[in-house]
Amino acid sequence: MLYRFSIYQLGVGGVAMATPHKSNLSNLRPKWTRPGRRLEGEGREPGYRLSNFSRAYRSWIGPYIKSRFHSDEFRPVLSFLYTDLNCNLDCYYCYSRGRHIPGMTMEVAKRSVGWLTSVGCKVLAYMGGEPLVRKDFILELTRYAAQEGFFVYLATNGILLDEAFIDEIGRAGISTINLAVDCLEGTEGIPKSFARIRGQFDWLVEREEEYGFITFLNINITDRNIPDVKELTELAHARGVPTDYHINEPPLIRYGDYRHTHDGGWITEGSYHGVDALIDWLIEKNLAGYTMVNSVEHLRAMKRFIRRDLRPWSCCAGELTVIIRLDGSFAPCFELYGTQEDWGNIEEGPRFDPLRLAKIKEKCTPRCLSTCNYQVMHYTRSLLYSLQWVAKHARTRLFGTS
């Protein structure tokens, strides 16, 4: 396969933490779990839930129903906008290493919002790299997109957040802040630690009702953070914050300068047992009512995925989801960001040929467990599932995705 350009070819950004991995993490629990203002689902104003419900309906369910009515047209319900590929960190597993690549211009960003509006899409998720390497850009774009009626979703490692910015982006109309954190304290190659964003986390939880946004934690399960995943799940639950899990995936595309082929925290045979036990625990918590973006089915599929025994699945990339690259061109998904194929762009429109996509997916779906596309597939496969999605989130006030 040929690639138009590698987003990660231009050097490795960021700060790698080099502190040793802590094995006895349970001792840390009291340090991390600040006495909660509330437990999950408790203590939030009915108005906050109601406004989240109606915003979610307008942004997700309405566009989805319309998209099904016009199934011969390309009408994605979820878009990812790559505003920057640069990052202030260096997570060893991450394929994003685009230091010094100019970010998206505001003109392209606003035109992207215009194009998304024209195809009925109302969910705009920032992606990268780290979107907050340009905070002013994100603020201005959020204001603009929220005014256009978008559900704006910020995925961030949270380190560059501060109280003033949280208040500003709250006022700007952000809908969801997806805080990526993998461990309690930094470990080599896994720098996204709760220790580094604890203050930001507290302030986000504190302010979400005032501004009407939702915070959730996004955790990547690797072979190095198994005990931490449980701790993070518990501390999020104790504060009424939903969680979302990725399973660490070796990038489908190997870029020339990617240095961590052997130490990206990949899950190998020696970790199967520990990861299985963790997934069983997560499923148990999910069924017990912990608010998780992942369906139980997705969590179960993780076990097959790590053993390279995934069955082909109906990935909706390039159908119900789309990514917009820095220059305003399209691609189906993160994993195919670097493909040289022409998928169209915001000026000329999409070129997602269903037959071509189907052929690609025959090969990639047994090797990829894209969290966002798997959830979209799961919750849109029937009216019943869509209603379950609404019911689940109406109950728990979570309307994010990952």
Ligand X SMILES: C[S@@+](CC[C@H](N)C(=O)[O-])C[C@H]1O[C@@H](n2cnc3c(N)ncnc32)[C@H](O)[C@@H]1O
Binding site for ligand SF4 (CB under 6 A): 87, 89-91, 94, 96, 128-130, 157, 180, 192, 252, 315, 317, 332-333, 335-336, 361, 364-365, 368, 370, 373
The CB-of-264 to ligand X minimum distance in angstroms stands at 7
Site string for ligand X, 245-264 (x = CB under 6 A): -x-xx-x-------------
**How far is 63 from 391, CA to CA, in rounded Å?**
17
From the list ligand X, ligand SF4, none, which binds 225 (C-beta under 5 to 8 Å, kind-based)? none
Tell me the residue nearest to ligand X as measured from the CB: 180
Q: How many helices (H) and strands (E) does the chain have?
A: 13, 10
Estimate to the nearest angstrom the gap between the alpha carbon of 352 and the chain centroid: 23
The CB-of-398 to ligand X minimum distance in angstroms stands at 16
The CB-of-304 to ligand SF4 minimum distance in angstroms stands at 14
From the list ligand SF4, ligand X, none, which binds 373 (C-beta under 5 to 8 Å, kind-based)? ligand SF4
Residue among 112 and 370 whose Cβ is closer to ligand X: 370
Residue among 240 and 318 whose Cβ is closer to ligand SF4: 318
231 three-state secondary structure: helix
Q: For residue 200, list its beta bridge partners.
A: none
**How far is 4 from 302, CA to CA, in rounded Å?**
30
The CB-of-384 to ligand X minimum distance in angstroms stands at 29
| CB neighbour list of residue 211: distance below 8 Å, 6 or more residues apart | 167, 170, 171, 174
**Cβ 197 vs Cβ 165: under 8 Å:** no
Helix, strand, coil percentages (3-state) for the chain, rounded to 5, are 45, 15, 45
Residue among 301 and 333 whose Cβ is closer to ligand SF4: 333
**How far is 232 from 219, CA to CA, in rounded Å?**
8
From the list ligand X, ligand SF4, none, which binds 361 (C-beta under 5 to 8 Å, kind-based)? ligand SF4
Site string for ligand X, 154-193 (x = CB under 6 A): -xxx----------------------x-------------
Q: Does 93 bind ligand X (CB under 6 A)?
A: yes
From the list ligand SF4, ligand X, none, which binds 335 (C-beta under 5 to 8 Å, kind-based)? ligand SF4
**How far is 40 from 283, CA to CA, in rounded Å?**
17
Q: Please give the residues from 229 up to 248 whose contact with ligand X meets the rule CB under 6 A.
A: 246, 248
Backbone φ and ψ for 362, nearest 5 degrees, come out as -55, -40
Helices of type H across 57-105: 62-69
From the list ligand SF4, ligand X, none, which binds 101 (C-beta under 5 to 8 Å, kind-based)? none
From the list ligand SF4, ligand X, none, which binds 365 (C-beta under 5 to 8 Å, kind-based)? ligand SF4
| CB neighbour list of residue 63: distance below 8 Å, 6 or more residues apart | 75, 77, 120, 121, 122, 123
The CB-of-87 to ligand SF4 minimum distance in angstroms stands at 3
Sole binder of ligand X in the list 128, 186, 240, 338 (CB under 6 A) = 128
From the list ligand SF4, ligand X, none, which binds 116 (C-beta under 5 to 8 Å, kind-based)? none
Q: What angle do CA 342, 125, 286 make, to 5 degrees?
A: 120
From the list ligand X, ligand SF4, none, which binds 156 (C-beta under 5 to 8 Å, kind-based)? ligand X
Q: For residue 215, list its beta bridge partners.
A: 177
**How far is 162 from 165, CA to CA, in rounded Å?**
5
* Site of interaction with ligand X (CB under 6 A): 87, 93-96, 127-128, 130, 155-157, 180, 218, 220, 246, 248-249, 251
